[in-house]
Amino acid sequence: MNILIKDNEYKQWLDDLKQRIRQNQIKAAIKINTELLHLYWDLGHDIVARQMETTWGSGFFEQLSKDLMLEFPDMKGFSIANLRFIKRFYLFYSQDISFRYQVGSEIKTIVLQQAVGKLRINDNEQNKIHQQLVSELENHSIFQIPWRHHVEIFTKCKSVKEALFYVQKTIKNGWSRAVLMNFMEADLYAAQGNALNNFEKSLPEPQSDLAREIIKDPYNFDFITLTEPYKEKELECAYNQHYKIFA
């Protein structure tokens, strides 16, 4: 076995294998993170579109938190404070009528006013509009950074344009949350002329702070935890879904 350790061809292949494993770890973590943020987006939409606070009063968040944590005790995302953040997450981005995003080099415009402004239409039409928006938003850059990055961004930025600037900079440069906060405090957005630069979407470098934080994000770990009681079919489906990530 010691011969292999000294063999240059083996060492080169091993280095390549380690790189591929790290890249697959990042792919899996980003996939899980994306699904979690889509869940938060959908939940935020429901709370806003159905006017749940108005309908059920000030105790709505407390009751929802209690019910969800009873069913999913290992998920930190269902605390009262985080449920309020989830509502703010949806409201913040949906406030901008021309919510622009990039898919490769193609730039599209989504009119999110439909999802917020037409609250009185029937449920079937509302769901149709919402599902169309979900489909359009599926690959948006806001679903590529960790939740705790988002909380810093949408609680401190004054506009969606400013928020997207920091989202894109985070992805492009692999920023940790601490680095993001430092640049926000220094008002990098103002310093760079409020410009939103195009960027190519790619995986963070395996060595980047962002990659490490996505992989180790406790919200993502909590999201995929299966707790008793679970059905064998549910376990099989969860395995198959995560296995496909590496296909």
What average pLDDT does the segment 159-184 reach?
93
Single-letter amino acid code for the residue at 55:
T
What average pLDDT does the segment 105-109 reach?
32
What average pLDDT does the segment 7-30 reach?
88
Structure confidence by residue, pLDDT tens digits, 227-238? 445 555 555 565
pLDDT value, residue 233: 56
d(CA 220, CA 103): 24
- Please name every residue paired with 107 in a beta bridge, in sequence order, or none if there are none: 102
Q: Which residue has the higher pLDDT, 235 or 86?
A: 86
pLDDT at 98 over 60: no
Instruction: Using alpha carbons, select from 105, 112, 113 the residue that is nearest to residue 199.
Output: 105
Q: What is the domain partition of the chain in residue ranges?
A: 2-244
